[in-house]
Chain A
Amino acid sequence: MDIVVLVKMVPDTESRLEIVDGKVNESGFKYMVNPYDEFAVEQAVQFKEASGGKVTLLTLFSNDTSIDTDLRKMMAIGADEAIVLRQDGYRGDRPSANAKVISGAISEMNADLVIGGVQGIDYYQGATGPMIAQMLGIPHISGVTNLEMNGDKFTAKRQIEGGLQVIDCPGPVLITCQKDMTKVRFPALKDIMMSKRKPFENREVSLNEENDIQTNECSLPPARGGGVIIDGESAEEKVDKLIEKLKTEAKVL
C-alpha cells in the first residue's frame, strides 16, 4: 500500500492579522503543519504498520521558508519520505491552481491512497482535496472521522448533519480527515533520530494560473464592542434581567 499524505503549511494560529492596503500583512507569519493533516499522517503510518508499503509526505510551499523541522516531525511519526514542491509566488488561497500542481505530482506516484486534512486552518475552503481527486479521476470522501482498511477496500465514516455516512470504496481513493480520526502519537527519541536520515526532496515547480477567484480586498470583521455586564444581587435577578434583554432588546428568544 503506497500512501501519499498531503501536508499544508499554514500560518500559526497565534499569528497577528494586520491589514495593509486591503491585504493581510503576511511578513511576520510563522508557519506550522496544518493540524488536520497530522491526523492524516498518523492514519497513513498506522496503515503502513499494519500492511506494509510506503508513506510519502507531499507539500506545496513557497521557495523562501525552511520547513525541514516541521516535516521531519511528521517523519518521526513514521512517514518514509518527504517531497516538497517549491513554488515562487506560492499562495495558500488558490485551491485550483495548487490542486493542479499537486495532482500532477501524485499522478507519477502510483498511490493506492491519498490522504490529507479536511481543510486548511488558513483559508478554510476544504477544496484542494476534492479538486485533486477530480483531477486524478478518483473518488474522494471528505470529513472522515473513522477509516478502516480491508485488503484494498476502505470503509470510511463521514461526518454529516446529525450522523455519520458509512461509505465503502476500493482504492485508489482520496480521503480528508476530521479531527476525531486518530490520536497523533508522540514519537520516541529513536524515531526522531531516524527521521533525520529519511529522504527529503525539494523540487522546483512553476507558478501556474488557474481559475481561482482572486481576493480583491481583505478587512477585519467589525469589532464586536464588549456588551453589557448584567449585574444583580442574586443569580435569579441576573438571570431575569438577561432573559428580559434577550426577549425585548435582542429579540432572539
Chain B
Amino acid sequence: MSSIVVVGEVDGNEIKDVSQQVAAVAAGMGDVVGIVMGKNVAEAAMKLSTAKIIIAEDDSLENYDPIKFSSIVAQVVEQTSSTKVLMGATTMGKDLGPRLAAELNWGYLGDCLEAGDDGFVRPNFAGKVLAKSNPTSPVVASIRNNAYPAGESWSGTVENYSGNIPDSKLTTTSIEKVGAGDVELTEANIVVSGGRGLESPENYDEHIRPLANSLGAAAGASRAIVDAGWVPHSHQVGQTGKTVTPDLYIAIGISGAIQHLGGMSGSKIIVAINKDAEAPIFKVADYGIIGDLFEIVPVLKSKLGN
C-alpha cells in the first residue's frame, strides 16, 4: 500500500476539526503519516488521528510560512516515499498545497468536496459544475471542511521531524484579530447571511449579528452590501467571496443571484427569509418564509436566543 501524508493544523491546544476529517479520509487510502508544524504544538499534534505522527516544532514555525512549510512537507514525502499529500482547504492549505505541488512536481487538486480511492471531486464555476478526476500520478489535494466526518482523536507513534528547515524571506510581524469572537465563515456549522433587504448597515448589526451570535454562527453577506460598504469583504459569500458548506445557511433579505448561490448552495440545509415570493433564493431553499424580515427575524432571534 502506498503512503499518504496528512498535513495537520493546530488551533490553540486542539487539532483542527478539518484535519481530523482529512485524516479519516486518508485512512481509507493507505498508510497514513501525519505532519504537524508549528511552535509548541506537540500536545495538539498528538491528537491527530493518523497511525504515525511527525512533529516539526521550532520557534521559526510559529506562523505559517509557505517556503518553510512546503519544504518540510516535501522532505517528509521523500522520507516516507509517499504518493499523496492531503490537507484541509483552509487559508493555509489552499496556499501551501499548490506551492508544495510545484516543489514536488506533482498535480494539485484544490478545495475538494470528495476524496477517496474512487476519485476526487472538486467544484468548478463556483460549484455550478462538479469535476471528477481519478489521478493515477502523485497528487497534492486540499479538502473542504465538512466534507467528511472527523476521525477520532487518538495518538499513534510520534516522531520528531529530523529534516532541515530552510530560511525564508517572509517575516510575520503580527497577527491582527478581526472582530474578536466572530466565528470564521468557512468553518462555521451555521451561517446567517444578510443582504440588501436589510436596508442599512445598522440593521445588519441589529438583526444579523445578534442572531448569528445566539446560534454560535458566522455572519455572512451578499455582495450588494459588501460593495455598499456595510460589512467588509471577509463576510461575502458567493462566486467572488467565500464558499461555505455549513449544516445550516440562513439567507435573510437576499435575492439569491446566481453568483451568491455559487457560494452557498452546497450547504446541507438552506433557509430563506424574503418578502418576494418570486425571489430565486426560494428555488434552492429547503425551508422558506415569505414575509417581512423586520417582523420575522426579531421573533426568530427571541426564540433561538435561549
**Could you list which residues of chain A lie within 8 angstroms of chain B, going by C-beta atoms?**
11, 13-15, 17, 19, 24, 35-36, 93, 95-96, 99, 121-131, 133-135, 139-143, 145, 155, 157-170, 173, 178-180, 211-221, 224, 226-231, 235-236, 238-240, 242-243, 245-246, 250, 252-253
Contacts and interface: CB of A to CB of B under 8 A. Distances in A.
Which of B92, B119, B128, B170 is the most central at the interface, judged by chain A CB atoms within 10 Å of its CB?
Answer: B170
A235 B291 contact: yes
Given A215-B132, A219-B129, A170 B169 contact: yes
A227 B131 contact: no
A161 B128 contact: no
Interface residues of B, number: 95
Given A14-B258, A125-B110, A213 B285 contact: no
Contacts of A218: 124, 129-132
B75 interface: no
Interface string B157-177: 000000000001111111111
B240 interface: yes
A41 to B, nearest CB: 16
Given A96-B108, A124-B111, A126-B110, A140 B265 contact: no
Contacts of B247: 252
Contacts of B119: 216
B271 A239 contact: no
A227 B285 contact: yes
A63 B232 CA distance: 39
A215 B112 CA distance: 13
B82 interface: no
B108 A164 contact: no
A161 B90 contact: yes
B173 A167 contact: yes
B241 A179 contact: yes
Nearest to B9: A161
B248 interface: yes
17 contacts: A125-B98, A130-B102, A134-B70, A142-B95, A155-B173, A157-B176, A160-B92, A162-B182, A213-B107, A216-B132, A221-B129, A227-B288, A228-B288, A229-B282, A238-B296, A243-B304, A252-B268
Contact of A124 (B95, B103, B123): B123
A226 B240 CA distance: 24
B133 A131 contact: no
Which of B66, B105, B232, B241 is the most central at the interface, judged by chain A CB atoms within 10 Å of its CB?
Answer: B66
B265 A224 contact: yes
B64 interface: yes
Nearest to B249: A252
Given A96-B101, A252-B268, A242 B133 contact: no
A110 B129 CA distance: 39
A220 B129 contact: yes
Contacts of B133: 213-216
B140 to A, nearest CB: 10
Contacts of B99: 130-131, 133-134, 140
B300 A19 contact: no
A162 B109 CA distance: 25
A124 B95 CA distance: 12
Contact of A17 (B94, B128, B175): B128
